[in-house]
Structure 1
Amino acid sequence: MGRTNPTYRDTIRGLEDQWQPYRRALRADDQPHFDRLFEHARAHADASGYLNHQLAEVPLLISVVLEQERRLCELEQAVDEAEGGT
């Protein structure tokens, strides 16, 4: 038998569908950035699904913040290296 409960990836798809009117209203140059936020959420879907939080938006937002923190650290490291730091 198949699963009776939707996966967290299904939940992300549903949330993304709900936000499509907002996405369409964004300027064209902001739409790829909006899409990337959901890519971040999908990248951490396994951990988010394991959490099984009552509000699906909470782990989605934490996933986005985590990816942005990782990216920020990478950029800071690249700047340090470019400046000749360690």
Structure 2
Amino acid sequence: MGRTHPTYRDQLAAIEDDWRLFRRVLRRQDKPRFDRLFVYARDHADAAGNLNPADPLAPVWMAIAIEQERRIAELEDQVESLSDT
């Protein structure tokens, strides 16, 4: 029998667990922001699972970057539409 590897979602849960102490000492207003970053990572877990990365944290950073880029683009569109009026 071959070895079984944990799924990326399992690895992501372990990463989030590793960061639990960091989260615990964050300021109250920063905890929802921290949690949102892991939502981003979970939202892109299917893509990360296909990658089968040597460093499971690398797709977390990429997922965060993609989602932040998306949010920046949305905000830029909103600013542009406000400046057109």
Q: Fold match, TM over 0.5? A: yes
Instruction: Give the alignment of 1:2-81 within 5 angstroms.
Output: 4-81=4-81
Which AA in structure 2 matches 1:27?
R
Name the structure with the higher helix share.
2
- In structure 2, runs of 5+ residues without a counterpart are none
> Runs of 4+ in structure 1 displaced over 3 angstroms?
none
Normalization by structure 2: what TM-score? 0.92
The answer on 1:83 being equivalent to 2:74 is: no
- In structure 1, runs of 5+ residues without a counterpart are none
How much is the aligned-residue C-alpha RMSD, in angstroms? 1.0
Normalization by structure 1: what TM-score? 0.91
- Percent identical among aligned pairs is 48
Aligned residues: 82
